[in-house]
């Protein structure tokens, strides 16, 4: 669809920033269009838990005035975005903290604001404490879930209620809702995006990252988000590159590894349509000039349970002082994580860390022969709301699946749409790269996206 | 729930001065048993002299 024919709220960040820079689109007009969209559809989608319309319009007016004076800050200037509630915002700390103070703006929020982006508000996350809020609904079919735990981030981007969002991923929470909602999502390398101001689930597994409609939008957001932050003890000082250099339609010569043994291990729990769509996507990458190699990662079958052990132990440690309150009144998922953390001893945690080392070493060997990996990103299309129990996610976390291994190893991982199920629900491909090689991951995803154009399809909400 | 797992969980809860929410142990018995079972798999692999993933670094930042 031509840019001129699209509703403003469905522009990609890449399209909107070009129009804003050329002064063909006003940030105020764009922000108002998105706020109108929120008013029209969020009653059905329930993505926002804290809409900051007045401050968003004030930021948009400031952006407009600045750009009019010739002071364009960059591609995120004037772009409306929203954040998962797990990130602190000045005046709106993460609700999931419950018993600790927020830090003001989390570093990723601060960086986007300093780049001139317009903060629309905070988005629902699953297992939040406090009064029950309506569960976000999938814009492709509101009888279905969005995936979590960045539930609102998936619904808001997919439903045209922001141009980009921030999510957080400890065991798939950026990639899962990105897949279910038909958008792109990036869990960058651990340490690439600051965790300062992110209420912790598990310190060594938590990744903050961008979610948006198109791969190029993720590159624009990552250009702002990436970089060392002395407020995050695990932040990396690795040099930051310009991620938009990845935006070339070319995978010729790229070697893409497919961990067939691991996919076979997960296959009994994976819907056939997912495996079919992912195989089609891999064939398409081959047709575009990539070389496809089958690879083996012998210990990967233990990576998901190792990720879960580290997750629940660190969650227990992070929440120890609040545990009695969590058990008395917290969400079911949070209570269950406390019990599972308590049941794990130091030997289990140490063994999980040793498996982490082994998986990292095995993957390093694989990455001597390939540039990236391609594999599925979900067990099935988004289930219906009534099919999902309050702790179903935890069952996914303790048997081999597609997300946890890449939290465990901290590798950069992209979710990119690769088609639809028989019932028109989105399916996604997962592309995994070497540490800090987000460029290759984005390049493979962008080439595929530009060929297939799945991102141009819109839900009929 | 498996009696041994239940007794273990109750003991660590008591050690920490915590009370489970009423009905939780029944409600979560399936995930707890699956998790504890899969923990055993974690120890099924021979890791030889593999060290811990997070290595202590003595330098000042």
User: Residues A355-389: pLDDT tens digits?
Assistant: 999 999 999 999 999 999 999 999 999 999 999 98
What's the pLDDT at A189?
98
| Cβ contacts of A354 on chain B, cutoff 8 Å | 47, 50-53
**Residue A130: band (very low, low, confident or very high) from pLDDT cuts 50, 70, 90:** low
Q: Which of A324, A354, A394 has the CB atom closest to B51's CB atom? A: A354
**CA distance to partner chain B, nearest, from residue A384 (Å):** 21
What's the pLDDT at B48?
85
pLDDT exceeds 80 at position A132: no
Q: Which of A342, A391, A395 has the CB atom closest to B9's CB atom? A: A342
Strands A80-84 and A118-123: parallel
Residue A353: CB atoms within 10 Å: 21
Beta strands in A328-446 (DSSP E): 372-376, 413-420, 426-433
**Distance separating alpha carbons of residues A374 and A259, to the nearest angstrom:** 8
pTM: 0.96
Strands A184-187 and A413-420: antiparallel
Average pLDDT, chain A: 96
What's the pLDDT at B60?
67
| Cβ contacts of B39 on chain A, cutoff 8 Å | 305, 309, 343-344, 348
pLDDT tens by residue, A315-340:
999 999 999 999 998 889 999 999 99
**Distance separating alpha carbons of residues A51 and A48, to the nearest angstrom:** 6
What's the pLDDT at B61?
56
What's the pLDDT at A31?
98
Q: Is A259 exposed, middle or buried (0-12, 13-18, 19+ CB in 10 A)?
A: buried
**Distance separating alpha carbons of residues A258 and A446, to the nearest angstrom:** 18
Q: What percent of chain A is modeled with pLDDT above 70?
A: 100
What's the pLDDT at B32?
97
Cβ–Cβ gap B24/A308 under 8 Å: no
**Residue A131: band (very low, low, confident or very high) from pLDDT cuts 50, 70, 90:** low
Q: What percent of chain A is modeled with pLDDT above 90?
A: 92
Q: How far is CA A320 from CA A12, A233, A305, in A?
A: 42, 21, 22
Domains of chain A: 3-456 (3.90.1300.10)
Residue stretches of chain B with pLDDT short of 50:
none
Cβ–Cβ gap B47/A354 under 8 Å: yes
pLDDT tens by residue, A402-429:
999 999 999 999 999 999 999 999 999 9
Strands A255-258 and A372-376: parallel
Q: Mean pLDDT across the stretch A121-138?
A: 87
Catalytic residues of A: 84, 149, 173
Q: Which of A204, A308, A342 has the CB atom closest to B12's CB atom? A: A342
Residue A8 per-residue DSSP state: G
What's the pLDDT at A99?
72
**CA distance to partner chain A, nearest, from residue B11 (Å):** 10
Q: CB distance from B2 to chain A under 8 Å?
A: no
Q: CB distance from B42 to chain A under 8 Å?
A: yes
């Amino acid at each position: 669809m031509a840019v001129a024919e699209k509703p403003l709220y469905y522009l990609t960040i890449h399209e909107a920033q070009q129009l804003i820079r050329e002064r063909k689109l006003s940030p105020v007009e764009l922000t108002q269009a998105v706020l109108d969209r929120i008013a029209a559809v969020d009653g059905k989608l329930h993505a926002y838990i804290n809409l900051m319309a007045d401050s968003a319009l004030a930021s948009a007016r400031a952006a407009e005035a600045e750009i009019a004076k010739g002071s364009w800050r960059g591609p995120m200037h004037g772009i409306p975005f929203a954040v998962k509630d797990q990130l602190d915002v000045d005046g709106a700390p993460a609700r999931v903290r419950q018993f600790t103070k927020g830090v003001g703006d989390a570093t990723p929020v601060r960086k986007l604001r300093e780049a001139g982006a317009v903060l629309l508000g905070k988005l629902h996350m699953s297992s939040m404490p406090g009064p029950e809020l309506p569960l976000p609904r999938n814009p492709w079919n509101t009888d279905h879930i969005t995936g979590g735990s960045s539930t609102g981030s998936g619904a808001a981007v997919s439903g045209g209620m922001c141009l980009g969002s921030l999510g957080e991923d400890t065991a798939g929470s950026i990639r899962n809702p990105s897949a279910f909602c038909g958008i792109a999502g990036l869990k960058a390398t651990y340490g690439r995006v600051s965790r300062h101001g992110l209420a912790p689930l598990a310190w060594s597994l938590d990744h903050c990252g961008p979610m948006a409609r198109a791969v190029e939008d993720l590159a624009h957001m990552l250009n702002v988000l990436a970089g060392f932050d002395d407020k995050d003890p695990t932040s990396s000082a690795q040099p930051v590159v310009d991620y938009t250099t990845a935006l070339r339609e070319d995978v010729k010569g790229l070697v893409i590894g497919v961990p067939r043994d691991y996919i076979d291990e997960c296959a009994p729990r994976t819907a056939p349509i997912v495996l079919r769509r992912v195989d089609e996507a891999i064939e398409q990458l081959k047709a575009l000039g990539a070389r496809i190699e089958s690879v083996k990662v012998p210990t990967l079958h233990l990576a998901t349970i190792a990720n879960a052990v580290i997750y629940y132990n660190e969650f227990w440690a992070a929440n120890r002082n609040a545990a009695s309150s969590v058990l008395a009144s917290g969400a079911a998922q949070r209570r269950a994580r406390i019990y599972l953390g308590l049941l794990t001893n130091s030997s289990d945690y140490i063994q999980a860390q040793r498996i982490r080392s082994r998986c990292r070493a095995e993957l390093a060997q694989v990455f001597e022969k390939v540039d990236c990996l391609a594999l599925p990103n979900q067990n099935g299309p988004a289930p219906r709301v009534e099919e999902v129990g309050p702790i179903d996610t935890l069952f996914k976390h303790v048997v081999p699946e597609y997300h946890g291994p890449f939290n465990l190893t901290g590798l950069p991982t992209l979710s990119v749409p690769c088609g639809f199920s028989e019932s028109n629900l989105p399916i996604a491909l997962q592309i995994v790269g070497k540490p800090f090689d987000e460029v290759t991951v984005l390049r493979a995803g962008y080439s595929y996206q530009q060929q297939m154009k799945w991102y141009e399809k819109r839900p009929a909400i | 729930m498996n009696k041994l797992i239940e007794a273990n969980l109750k003991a660590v809860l008591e050690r920490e001065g915590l009370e489970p929410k009423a009905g939780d142990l029944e409600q979560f018995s399936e995930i707890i048993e699956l998790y504890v079972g899969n923990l055993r798999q974690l120890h099924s692999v021979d890791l030889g002299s593999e060290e811990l993933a997070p290595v202590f670094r003595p330098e000042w930042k």
